[in-house]
Amino acid sequence: MTVAVHGVGTSHFGRQPHRDLVALAADAVQEAFLDAGTDDIDAVWVGTVFGPPGVAQRVLRAMGVTGIPVVTVENACASGTTAFAEAHEAVRTGRHGRVLALGLEQMSTAFAGAITPEPTDPEGRSGLALPALYAMAAARYLHLGLATPEQLAAVSVKNHAHALHNPRAQYSGRHTVAEVLASRMIADPLTLLQCCPTSDGAAAAVLAPATGGAREVTVRGVALRSGAPWNHRSPHVWGHDLVRRTAMDAFAAAELLDATDVDVAEVHDAFTIGEIVTTEALGFVAPGDGGKAAAAGVTALGGVLPVNPSGGLLSRGHPLGATGLAQLAEIVWQLRGEARGRQVEGARLGLVETMGGGVSVLDGNSCVVAVLEAP
């Protein structure tokens, strides 16, 4: 059975300690119900990482979503897209008729700055903050001549400029490459403006069988994988191979050979190097060309393949569990032609990629890639 996204909704993104998850989730779910034209759902999948026990039922009861199956999933930064992937599978197989996927996270009340490294993980216990993991990928790229500091910064410049047209983004601005490079060093070579902020937010989608409706965005294919061992035998930096393998699965599910026909994408740019590596892993650009593409405007609005028109995680913000569904909402708006000042004209095929990390030895906790098609 072919599945379509019938409605999406999100909260505002940013530091919102004065609002609780009930309020943030209500913004996203009510907008998604309104967008779908119905609140008649049969099951809910909820993605969250740091949400307390019972958070899914706690937020859903406030909207009268009670008495139906509710499943909570955790896959690090890919938790929201994991909820989406599972909701999609539930509809595709006929297990449920209409399903809500919800992602939510409140980071501002949990962390003063970067996420505290997980002490039950070997590398977390060793003090490997996530910026440092990505910083080592960036340092390796610089060492091998696969990117320059200016190309890293270009990703931040681009995504902050994109966010100028997204009223729900946490940050936006017209930065220069020099400003990005001059911002405070977080983990060499990544500076503050190359790292996603601490964010609160929620996002939701309503999935049901495709009926050919004028506002239905069809799900062409979804894939989910966990990482394989990443070590001295791996040819690429951390994360690349997991994204690549998951993308190949998603392209196969979508009956595509590769990324050639993709018009717009939201990808995991928690750090600038992440977008560069991901655009290479997805096959948007040739290996080693991710930085050049960002600096040359290839992946900017108006370029050949706009990446992160919403501003991405770097600017929209990165409330972990909400991120994947926020990416999905952006692609749905793009494919319906409703993205206003950041619209990619004539976009027909869109891609969402989310990547979660934090388990040492593996090249990712989980990755989800989805391919969607305009009505």
Partner 1 sequence: MSQPSTVDPRPRVEQGPDGRYRVEGIRCPSCGEVAAFAWPRCPACRSGVGPASFGPDGTVWSSTVVRIPVPGRTPPYVLAYVDLDDGPRVLAHVTGPGAPIGGRVRLAPPSADGDVTVEVLA
Of residues 64 and 127, the one with the C-beta less far from partner 1: 127
In the bound complex, what is the minimum distance in angstroms from residue 358's beta carbon to partner 1?
Answer: 11
Site residues (vs partner 1, CB under 8 A): 112-123, 125-129, 131-132, 135-137, 139-140, 143, 184-189, 228-232, 237, 360-362
In the bound complex, what is the minimum distance in angstroms from residue 186's beta carbon to partner 1?
Answer: 5
Of residues 139 and 296, the one with the C-beta less far from partner 1: 139
Spot the catalytic one: 6, 12, 77, 195.
Answer: 77
Of residues 142 and 347, the one with the C-beta less far from partner 1: 142
In the bound complex, what is the minimum distance in angstroms from residue 271's beta carbon to partner 1?
Answer: 12
Of residues 118 and 150, the one with the C-beta less far from partner 1: 118
> Is 77 labeled as catalytic in the residue annotation?
yes
Nearest in space to 85 (alpha carbons), one of 367, 319, 350: 367
Of residues 189 and 309, the one with the C-beta less far from partner 1: 189
In the bound complex, what is the minimum distance in angstroms from residue 304's beta carbon to partner 1?
Answer: 31
Spot the catalytic one: 6, 88, 162, 318.
Answer: 318
Of residues 132 and 351, the one with the C-beta less far from partner 1: 132
In the bound complex, what is the minimum distance in angstroms from residue 286's beta carbon to partner 1?
Answer: 22
> Is 318 labeled as catalytic in the residue annotation?
yes
In the bound complex, what is the minimum distance in angstroms from residue 124's beta carbon to partner 1?
Answer: 8
Q: What is the 3-state secondary structure (H, E, C) of the chain?
A: CCEEEEEEEECCCECCCCCCHHHHHHHHHHHHHHHHCCCCCCEEEEECCCCCCCHHHHHHHCCCCCCCCEEEECECECHHHHHHHHHHHHHHCCCCCCEEEEEEEECCCCCCCCCCCCCCCHHHHCCCCHHHHHHHHHHHHHHHCCCCHHHHHHHHHHHHHHHHHCCCCCCCCCCCHHHHHHCCEEECCEEHHHECCCCEEEEEEEEEECCCCCCCEEEEEEEEECCCECCCCCCCCCCHHHHHHHHHHHHHHCCCCCCCCCCEEECCCCEHHHHHHHHHHCCCCCCCCHHHHHHHCCCCCCCCCCECCCCHHHHCCCCHHHHHHHHHHHHHHHHCCCCHHHCCCCCCEEEEEEEECCCCCECCCEEEEEEEECC
Which residues are catalytic, by number? Answer: 77, 318
